Amino acid sequence: MTSGLETLITPELEALKGQWRATTWSPPVSASDIRKWAIATWWPQTPPPLHWDEAYAAATRWGGIVAPPDFNPFAWPIVRIPLAPLPSPKGVKLTSLNGGQTETYGVPQRPGDVIAERVRVQDFRERQGRFGLMLYVDVETEWTNQDAVLVRRRISTFVRY
């Protein structure tokens, strides 16, 4: 419990606010990746042909296959790069909960796209809760394609107490 603490905001957390972590890049998106993701997403139904049928997709406003909005080109990394843990006050072990997330979508991903990902602590705030002092941390993840056009922005809220 964090009752009795004056703040959970550390100088290290203050220093992280607004600072983008180094950019990572996905492997090129393939039509096969998109097709497999769509099959898994719509299973046991047949996925929309926009995600797997070249002839159908060519006749749409997209002019070709596009990925479902939730497609994740980072889902199968060969080497996983762990996120650094959020700093805690010295001597305090904090419990973390998922406080939800909000997604904003830009252009769809297409075969051949290479997606850049960057992450930062966007904001944080404290308040008293039934478990004592609670820290809400908003982490922003931004994906852009090789043309620097927004693909997806996610704001994830972590609740720490």
Helices and strands, counts by H and E, the chain: 3, 5
Say whether pLDDT at 3 is over 70. no
Q: Are residues 63 and 138 both part of a single domain? A: no
Q: Are residues 104 and 68 both part of a single domain? A: no
In whole angstroms, how far apart are CA 100 and each of 64, 83, 134, 136? Answer: 33, 18, 15, 11
| CATH code assigned at 156 | 3.10.129
pLDDT in tens, 76-120: 877 777 767 777 887 788 888 999 999 999 999 999 999 999 999
140 touches 119 (CB < 8 A): yes
Instruction: Report pLDDT for 58.
Output: 98
Provide the mean pLDDT of the chain. Answer: 92
Q: Are residues 157 and 93 both part of a single domain? A: yes
Residue 99: inside a domain:
yes
Residue 94: inside a domain:
yes
Largest CA-CA distance found in the chain, in angstroms, rounded? 64
Please report the DSSP string for 112-136 in residue order: T---EEEEEEEEEEEEEETTEEEEE
Q: Are residues 151 and 90 both part of a single domain? A: yes
What's the number of domains the chain is made of? 2
Q: How much is the average pLDDT of 39-67?
A: 97
Q: Are residues 135 and 104 both part of a single domain? A: yes
Amino acid (1-letter code) at residue 119: V
* H or E segment and range at residue 103: strand 96-105
pLDDT in tens, 118-139: 999 999 999 998 888 999 999 9
Name 54's Cβ contacts closer than 8 Å, sequence gap at least 6.
31, 64, 65
* H or E segment and range at residue 138: strand 132-144
- What domain range includes position 55? 30-72
Domain boundary among 72, 101, 124: 72
